Every structure is written in C-alpha cells, then in structure tokens.
Structure 1
Amino acid sequence: MLSALRIVSLLGVFSLGSSLAVAQATPPRTWVDKDTGHRVYRLSDEPGSSGFYFNVNAYSPDKKLMVYTAPDGIHTLELATKKTRLLVANAPRPATGDRPGFRGGVRTIVVGSKTNSVFFTKFDPETEANTAYKADLITGAVTRLVALPPRASITSVNADETLAAGTYDENEEDVAKEYGGNRPLTTPGAPNNAPPQAGNLVQPEGKGAMMERRLASRIPVVLYTINLKTGSVKELLHSTDWIGHLLFSPTDPQLLMYCHEGPWQKVDRIWMIHTDGTHNTLIHKRTMLMEIAGHEFWGLDGRTIWYDWQYPKGEDFFLAGYNLETHRRTAYHMQRNEWSIHFNLTHDLSLFTGDGGDPGQVAKAPDGEWIELFRPREIRGEGALDDPNFWQPGVFESEHLVNMAHHNYKLEPNVRFTPDKSMVIFTSNMFGASYVIGVDVAKAMDAKPDEVVSTPELASRFNPSKPTPTPNDK
C-alpha cells in the first residue's frame, strides 16, 4: 500500500498543467521537514479550517481537547489520538446577503477555563438579537446563555465563566463605520473556486488605510461586561478611542486586558481594567518616536502580560513582559529574521514560539518565513548596577521548526503550544486552502527516507501559486 508521501511524490510527476487536479488532492497527513528535521502534521481535514487567534484559549481545562473552526462549524481535536469531530454545526453559507457569522452562523469566542465548554455567539431569529451560547465539549449539548445588547459583541469570557466582555457602539449610525464590519466574503478579484481560507485570521485588503479611518472616526463606544446567567450589563468605560482585543486574565476573573486600537505608532495600546470599572491602567507607555507595542497576550499563569515591542518600529525587536505582582519588566531581544507576527509560550516559560513573517511585514525580514522555537536566556551582569525600575534583558536562542516559504502571510499562522509542550500548532494555507497544522518540538528520530521532504516543494504540488509578500501597511 502506498504511503501518503509516495502518493504525493507520484502527483508531483504529473504536469502542473493539470494543477486544478493537483490542488484538489488531499494534502498528506504527516511528513518531516527536510530543512528543520521536525515532524509536521496536518491535524484538520476540512479545507478552510483554522485554529484560534493566538491569545485565545483553545484547550479544555483537562488539557485533552483543542477546539478549532471550519466552514461547517466548531470542531474538537483529541490531542492524544489526533481524532476530530464536528461539535456545533454552522448554518449553510447563504448564496447572497449576510455572512453566516452575523445571521445563521456561529462565532467562536473561547474555550472555558473552568468547564469543558466552548463559548460562542450566533444570531437568534426569535429575539432578533446576537446571543451567547456554550457547548459541552464531551456531549455536544448546547446551552443558550444570554442575549447581547443591541450592536454588541463579546470577545472574552472570564476565568470562572460568569462574565463575558465586549463593546458596542453607542449610536446606530456608527455601525457602518466599524473596522471590518463590511469586509467582503471573499478577497476582491479572487475566483469563485479559490481555496477557502481561515476566516478572521486573514488580513483584509487595505488594512492600514482602514485602521487610519477607524481611529480618526472617534466613534463613541462602551466597554462592558455581561453576566452570563442573569444578562445584567455593567458599563466599564465610555470612550471615543477605538477599543478592542479584550482578553480576561486566565486566573483572575475580575481582571480584563484590552487595547486602544489603531496604527501602533499612534496609540498607547495595552491597558488593564477591573470588572467593577476601577484601576484603568496603561501597561506600557511609549517614550520614543515610532516606538510600538502590541499583540499582547497573557502568560498562562496570569502573572505576566507579554507583547511585541519595537524600539523603534521595524528596527529593534523584543518580546517584552510585565509582571503584575512584582512590576518587573523583561525584554528578550531577537534578530530581524527571528521576529514573528505573534508569539506564544509554555506555562513554565521554558519555551517560546513565533510564527515568522514575510518580507512585507513590519520587520522586512529577508529570511523570516519560519515557525520558530525560542529558548529564552536571561542576561546577567555580575556586579552591574541594577534597579527595580530597570528592564531585565535577555535574548532568544532560536531553532527553525517549519519552513513557511510557501505560506501566504496574509493569513497569520497564530502559533500555540500544546499543554504538554510537545507540539506547536498553527494555521497555514501553504496547500492553498487553510488547515490546522502541528509540528513536534523534538526533532524526528524515526523518519523514513520517503518522509523527509522540503515543505515548500511539497506544498507547491498542491498549490502551484507562489505567495506574494503582504503589504507593509499596518
């Protein structure tokens, strides 16, 4: 019986003149990246499937399941066996009119920290309201929670699963101005048979210009929480700043991180507020022209906020951390080719990972298209002057995990570790359609000769289109 990689090799013999047939073939289940020595897996079967945004919890509290999404709905992945199943079905995509995420479809929020539940919203035709639900990851039972206020969304659920947080526009007429609100279903000019892509992980066309317009609009918005049992709404903040990227602490149910959206060089982005509306606090104050800080995320122990820090933009690169208990600030330096769009880490802070970036991203890295593994090393100066207010320096010692040269970075990979630290999981469109992909942290020790292949060459057999650099317009 032919192995999956042998079948791929045979496909590669055929003329690329029959590229449509090649592109429609099923990508291999596993291979070993020739350039890195690490084993790679295709974890999802559904074209257009996707992992979560990098800073949103996707794992069940017992660490046995991961949740991902696909055009047909919400799926679970059993980490031990790599078996998947459809948990919550999406409504069929309408031929015209509203996107399913706004009328018939489910919009996944987060996997709960307390119970084996995934939280999501969908439009309720009976009440004509956007409504919050949760689904049991084991039984699939769906529970209706609460209807959201008019024009409102939720984007995070707190650690004890009692509150959700979101924003809404104060005025109906401002809804049409919202960033991404009128994003088309497909990329303008893309053929009808274009491979399906991973939803909201794909950067929209003209993102930079849209961000400038949205920031300048000064739309009055409300940052709020809603009690998931009673429906009681608590207004935390009224603002004409652009508020987004809400993310509850993974351990403190009363602590919410959020950001001031917009071009990063124009905003002090990273903020924190308590659920009673007090202690509205800026986490990182910029002090240099063109300094930027963003793509913030929580350490898994809830003690530290981490973020991409460039001092200044596009020239010097750090992953910075702020410890909420000690107020200690850490900055791990990296080289241009090591910079990534998103970063993530293990619970014990022993390993970090990044998803790389093409030459069109802010780092303009000539060789940055890799899934990276980082081992942090602190810099200690014996006898050097130190101070509680000093940044504590370090560097990343990097190792390539996957060659992403055939990935189109308009879809951001959004890396995360599995809870046992054995694998890094991300989303890729290297095969044309997007899939959830995993790579072992340890190098492969049992690879057969026909399993060791160049990942870009393998991907090109299914997706002959060469990726083009993303525009540096953010």
Structure 2
Amino acid sequence: MKRRQLLISSAIGSAALMLGNKTLAASETGTSKPTTPETGKPSVIPTRWTDPISGKKILRLSEEDNSRSLYFHDNAFTHDGRYMVMNTPSGIGLYDFQQQKNTLLAKGKYEVIMVSRSKAVCYARKTIGEPREKDNNNLFDNIEYYAIDIPSGKEKFIGIFEKGFITTVNADDTLMAGAYATRLFALQPGKQVANTDGGYNAIGKDGKPLSFADAKELRMADRLAQNIPMEIFTINIETGERKVVTQSTDWLNHVQFSPTDPQQLMYCHEGPWHMVDRIWTIRTDGSNKQSIHTRRMNMEIAGHEFFSFDGKTIYYDLQTPRGEDFWLATYHLETGKRIWYHMERNEWSVHFQISQDGKLLAGDGGDHEMVARAEDGKYLYLFEPQIIEDIAVSAPNAAELIRPGKLKSTRLVDMSQHDYRVEPNIQFSPDNKYLVFRSNMHGPIHTYAVVL
C-alpha cells in the first residue's frame, strides 16, 4: 500500500524542508560507484550509469533526497511526455525530459494527486499548518486542493473538503474522487523506518518483532476488523459539490477513475487479499456496482488493479493460490473476456504496468520476504505477453473460457541493492522511451528512469 493511501486512516502530512525555487540540472558522473564500509552503498549517488545486466542506461531524475515518483497508477506525465512530476521534501518536483533538468513546480507541503490526462495541469493537495486529529467531521480541514499549471506553476485553488481524502481526477477534469473514513486507525504506529515506506511495528505470537511484510499484513488485518463506516465520494471541480457514490463498513481504498470514461470508477475492498473480494467497479451515480474477480479456491488472491490507458481493460495481480502460482490477469469491461498471463516465481512483481499504447508491460520485482518468496526476483522487468494458442482441435466453448497466456521477461534493472520496503512504482513515459521508478538502492530514496 502506498503512503498516501495509508493517510486515509492515519494522521496527514509532515514537516517539509524548505529550499529555494532553483533549477537543478542533472550532471554526468559516469559508472563509478564508491561504497561506504558501513552500508556497502555508494557514498556518491550517481546521476547516470549503465545497468550491468541489461546494458540499459539509467538516469537519476531527482536532485533532493527522499524524492519519490508517483504511485504506479497515478498519472505523472503531461500528455506530450515532456514533463513528469514527483513528490519531494521541498514541494512538487518537475522533470523536463526535453532539457533533462529538474525544477520545483510548487514550493511547500504539497503532495501530488496526479497529472491531468488531457491538459498540462497537476492536481495536488497542500497541508496547511500541522496535521491534527479533531472531531471526525473535520479530519481534513487543513488540506487545500489545487490545480497547478505545468510548467509555469500558476495555481488555481479548488477548495477544502472536510469529509474525505481525494485520490483521483476523471478523464475530462470535471470530477475528483476519494474515500472517507469516519474515524482514524493508525496503520503505522510508532517509529518510522528511514528511507522506506514506513514501519508497521507489529509483534508476533513469540513476542518478537515481525518482518516488515508480516507486520504490514497483521496491521492491515487489524484495520479490516474495525468495520469503520466509509464512503466513496466525488467532488465537482467547478462547483465543489460533494456526492456520495457508495457507502460500506468494508475498507474502501485505491479509488481511481478510468483514463477515458469520466463516469467510471474502480476501487478496492482493502485488507489482506485472501480475506476480501478486492476489485470493484461502479459508476459515479452509484449504479452498476460490480465485483471484477470471483475467488475459485481457498487462498486465491487478486489485487493491485489498474486500467489500461484506453480504459477498456482492467489488469491485476492474480495468485492461485497465494504465493504458489502467479498470473497477470485481465478483464475486458465491454465483453467480459479474460486473459491470464502466467509468470515464474522470480518474475512476480509488487506492481505491474502497461504502456500507454498497450504494447509493453513491465514489473518491478520483489524480494524473498514478500508474497512470492522469490530468491532471485530483485529486478525491473520488461514483459512480452504471449497467448497460448489452441491446438488443432479447440474446446466447443473456447470463446467463453479464460484465455491462457504467458509473459516472456527481460531483466531491465538490477535491483539487488534495493530495499523493497520501498515500492518501486514503475511508470512508462508516454513515448515508451523511459520506465520511471523510485529506489533506495543508493541509500536515500530517489526517482530514476531506465532508457528503454
């Protein structure tokens, strides 16, 4: 789960380090990687190097430590592919691929929601003052929402919305949407772990601290058991009108609009995946609520769902059962047809992503503590989807069945020095020239791109 989704059930915001509004130009440092004896990681973070496995060039896009690319399904690019936004301690970072330089688009305690699908605008929230926990109807009254022009940084104030946390904007820039919980639940209590996505700090039955992955699952199960009343809502960007889409005591999360249909939402029932029916779609008027995947065996799990860029297909991680057999599954919204692409254990990834033209797939790998228990899975992968064709004689109802396929993988980036307590969160650039990711492979978190 990403940081900004955790904020739905925890305190919002943190103190930001204020720097000047300066231009940060990337410079060549070569391939040398001197290391420190204590950590074995580079003492100087390179701005570019050549991956030893793939031979691909990798660029560092960020200048400031703890600068993060966006969550994998939150659009980070302007439609022409020239600019990409990221979150930095100083505000919203802006990378110009044409000039290969980094500037600060907006200074202050901002966090990006996403970039518009159709125009050069970044939607963001800004924390005013320090985060506070008040009565439940005012949990978010210190969050301001803005539309920020790219690249000028000119801001348009949208509003303050007390009941809810906005996470997505629709295809025609008329609606924002998010989820609202009627009370807080701190998923990550206690000390946070530096240069990671946090710390879940849970104790096992033997009285010993659990690993990051196991502690996260335990804390998520605890949150799910609370049955906190929630709702998914929309906000009219022009008028500020708030409408409730659906209500539930299920844990509602991962709210995302279709890239092309302004009225189509997808969301999840959050929690340990084997305990929930996770993937759902619904129209903004509350109609046509639909579960996308039905579990067929005990411990079957599905999740980390995302739309194709034409809005016609939903992709998701599928395991039959959990941690044993791995698929990238698809569901076509118009026809109901399904394809399941098989992969090997080491190829399983925290997140998958598709290019905007639909021709490329990628995965960000995983380590041995994660659900796949992969002993050699710490890579960024490029995938070629291949359909397993019928033999000479097909089943009479073949058209009604799930179509099998497989993923042919290519290793793009050696992630052996990456700590997967930070999710890489891959995104293709619109022109398919770059695959962007975040990593702590050199110590502090930075945003990088591999040249495809």
- TM normalised by structure 2 equals 0.84
Alignment partner of 2:54 out of 36, 40, 57: 36
For 2:148 and 2:451, the matched residues in 1 are separated by 30
2:300 aligned partner: 291
Aligned partner (choices 384, 394, 405) of residue 394 of structure 2: 384
Q: In the alignment, what sits opposite 2:152?
A: 139
CA distance in structure 2 between the aligned counterparts of 1:285 and 1:406, rounded to whole angstroms: 37
Q: CA deviation at 1:231?
A: 1.2
Partners of 2:256 and 2:265 within 8 A in 1: yes
Distance verdict in 2 for CA 1:71–1:213, change over 3 Å: same
Counterpart residue identity of residue 120, structure 1: A
Letter in 2 for 1:76: L
Give matches, 1:154-169, under 5 Å.
Answer: 154-169=166-181
Indicate the residue corresponding to 1:427 in structure 2: 438
Give the match's secondary structure for 1:210.
helix
The amino acid of 1:141's aligned partner reads K
Separation in structure 2 between the aligned mates of residue 122 and residue 332 of structure 1, nearest angstrom? 40
The amino acid of 1:395's aligned partner reads K
Q: Counterparts of 1:418 and 1:202 in 2: how far apart (Å)?
A: 27
Query: What amino acid sits opposite 1:325 in the alignment?
Result: E
User: What are structure 2's unaligned runs of at least 5 residues?
Assistant: 1-26, 130-137, 202-214
Q: How does 1:59-458 map to 2 (within 5 A)?
A: 59-90=77-108, 105-124=109-128, 128-150=141-163, 152-170=164-182, 174-175=183-184, 177-180=185-188, 186-187=192-193, 197=195, 201-202=197-198, 204-205=200-201, 206-381=215-390, 382-385=392-395, 386-441=397-452
Say if 2:356 and 2:428, in contact at 8 Å, map to a contact too: no
1:260/1:270 contact within 8 Å kept: yes
Instruction: Report the equivalent of 1:446.
Output: none
Q: Which gives a bigger RCO, structure 1 or 2 (Cα 8 Å, sep 6+)?
A: 1
Aligned to 2:132: none
Does the residue aligned with 2:393 lie in a helix, a strand or coil?
coil
Q: CA deviation at 1:81?
A: 2.8
Q: Which structure is higher in helix share?
A: 1
Secondary structure in 2 matching 1:5? coil
Kindly provide the amino acid, as one letter, of the partner of residue 435 in structure 2: V
- Does the aligned pair in 2 maintain the 1:356–1:370 contact within 8 Å? yes
* Distance in 2 of aligned mates of 1:88 and 1:183: 31
Counterpart amino acid of residue 170 in structure 2: N
Alignment of 1:11-50 (within 5 A): 11=34, 16=36, 25-50=43-68
Contact kept? 1:202, 1:412, Cα under 8 Å: no
Letter in 1 for 2:225: A
For residues 351 and 24 of structure 1, what CA distance do their matches in structure 2 show? 32
In structure 2, how many angstroms separate the alpha carbons of the residues matched to 1:331 and 1:167? 30
Give 3-state SS (helix, strand or coil) of 2:225's partner: helix
Instruction: Indicate if the aligned counterparts of 2:67 and 2:87 stay in contact, CA closer than 8 A.
Output: yes
Contact 1:146–1:230 (8 Å) recurs in 2: no
**In the alignment, residue 179 of structure 1 is paired with which amino acid?**
L
Closer, same or farther: CA 3–161 of 1 in aligned 2, 3 Å: closer
Question: What amino acid is aligned across from residue 82 of structure 2 in structure 1?
Answer: K
Match in the other structure for 2:23: none
Distance 1:331 1:67 in 2: 33
Q: CA deviation at 1:24?
A: 8.4
Q: Evaluate the alpha carbon distance shift between residue 203 and residue 321 of structure 1 in structure 2; reply closer, same or farther with a 3 A threshold.
A: farther
Give the distance between the partners of 1:226 and 1:183, measured in 2 at CA.
34
What whole-Å deviation, never above 9, does each CA across 1:436-467 have from its counterpart, x for those lacking one? 111122xxxxxxxxxxxxxxxxxxxxxxxxxx
Paired letter, 2:270: E
* Distance (whole Å) between structure 2 residues aligned to residue 168 and residue 183 of structure 1: 24
State the TM-score, normalizing by the size of structure 1: 0.81
Q: Distance in 2 between matches of 1:361 and 1:436?
A: 22
Alignment check: 8 A CA contact 1:371 1:401 kept: yes
SS of 1:209 mapped into structure 2: helix
Contact 1:146–1:229 under 8 Å retained in 2:
no
Per-residue CA distance 1:341-366 (angstroms, 9 max, x = gap)? 10011133321110000000100011
| AA in 2 matched with 1:374 | F
The one-character-per-residue Cα deviations of 1:116-150 (angstroms, maximum 9, x if unpaired) are 1111112346x944221111112100111022133
For 1:362 and 1:410, how far apart are their aligned partners in 2? Answer: 13
Number of equivalenced pairs = 402
Partners of 1:114 and 1:144 lie apart in 2 by: 19
Q: In structure 2, what residue type is equivalent to 1:378?
A: I
Distance of 2:416 and 2:42 partners within structure 1 = 21
Matched residue type, 1:155: T
C-alpha separation in 2, matches of 1:167 and 1:124: 20
Q: CA separation in 1, counterparts of 2:382 and 2:410? A: 5
